Amino acid sequence: RRVVSAGPSSGGSRRTAAGRQGGVAEPAASSPGRDALAAPGVGDQVDVALSRELEGLAHRAWPPLRERHVGGWVLRASAGSSRRGNSVWARGDVSDLSVALDEVRGFYAAAGLRPTIQITPVSVPAGIHQALDAAGFDDTGPTDVCTADLADLAERLDTVAPAETIMFDGIADTWLDVAGRVLSTFADQRTGTLKVLANLTVAAKYAMCVADGVPVAVGRGVFDGDWLGVYSMATVPGARGRGAARAVLAGLVTWAADAGASRAYLQVEQTSAAARRLYGALGFRPVYRYSYRRHHHPVGGPDVSPR
């Protein structure tokens, strides 16, 4: 596998980071038919501190274009790009839940978006789930947040078949072309997405796998604290199942390890069967599950894509 840097920072040769175990448990043993990435959801016990830390990391990795605070809630709007960027982060308490929901409806109506609240096992206040049921908010997009020790991940990726991985400091046109063929956030929601990524305050790297001279897969990594966040993983249909995603991930892991990261996290939708098999085999383990509660009455705005 060949790693090429297209900017001043190189993906570099592979280095195994000294893995720090804090916050990352050993992955559960998998068995036939078992989904190794199925995480605890609402009503289940989770690692509260780690779950809150990961939600904070994800917020910085996808900063909204506009936000408004209602008590402990963060109302986010990003021109329809991604559900995370256009939903409420219920991170803290509100003094009056009914009033807060009215604020949510008004905020998103003004933005031309469907009122949406991201729900995790650590969302507050108590009673939010029943209130959303009563207010006509549906439940969609279940997604599992998973973590891995970076040193272990690097070792598992050492078996990647030879491939050329190009690393970019910013979004190159070729990277964007591949992402746009697979991910709606880089296709019909491209304008908002590029504005979001221009607002990043954490270090980022863009990886692209090239097979036989043709770009076939991409991914985005963010480095925050001692964490590598893995985002925007996409492989064109004709190249799937050939190790392209593993090559992209290996490039991001090498970069993050060189930068001092010791842990990795990612989000994988419940319906992404192939991705779940890959990440489970690489040693990721689930921490918690989130979903989006959307008001069932649309306001004429665009539907937004996952995450």
Look at residue 300 in the predicted model and tell me its pLDDT: 47
DSSP 202: S
- The answer to the question of residue 39 being in a domain is no
What's phi and psi for 213, nearest 5 deg? Answer: 80, 5
Give the pLDDT band (50/70/90) at residue 29. Answer: very low
Residue ranges making up the domain that contains 161:
2-11+29-33+146-290
Q: Is the pLDDT of residue 49 over 60?
A: yes
Residue 18 lies in a domain: no
User: pLDDT tier at 249 (50, 70, 90 boundaries)?
Assistant: very high
Alpha-carbon span 108 to 104, nearest angstrom: 6
Domain match, 199 and 131 both: no
Q: Can you give the CATH number for the domain in which 198 is found?
A: 3.40.630.30
Same domain, 213 and 281: yes
- pLDDT winner (highest mean) among 3-7, 36-40, 184-188, 253-257: 253-257
Let me know whether 126 and 166 are in one domain.
no
- 243 and 284 in a single domain? The answer is yes
| End-to-end CA gap in the chain | 30
Closest CA to 195 of 205, 207, 186, 206: 186
pLDDT digit string, tens, across residues 87-102: 999 999 999 999 999 9
Cβ atoms 80, 300 nearer than 8 A? no
- The count of other CB atoms within 10 Å of the CB of residue 71 is 17
191 shares its domain with 284: yes
- 303, part of any domain: no
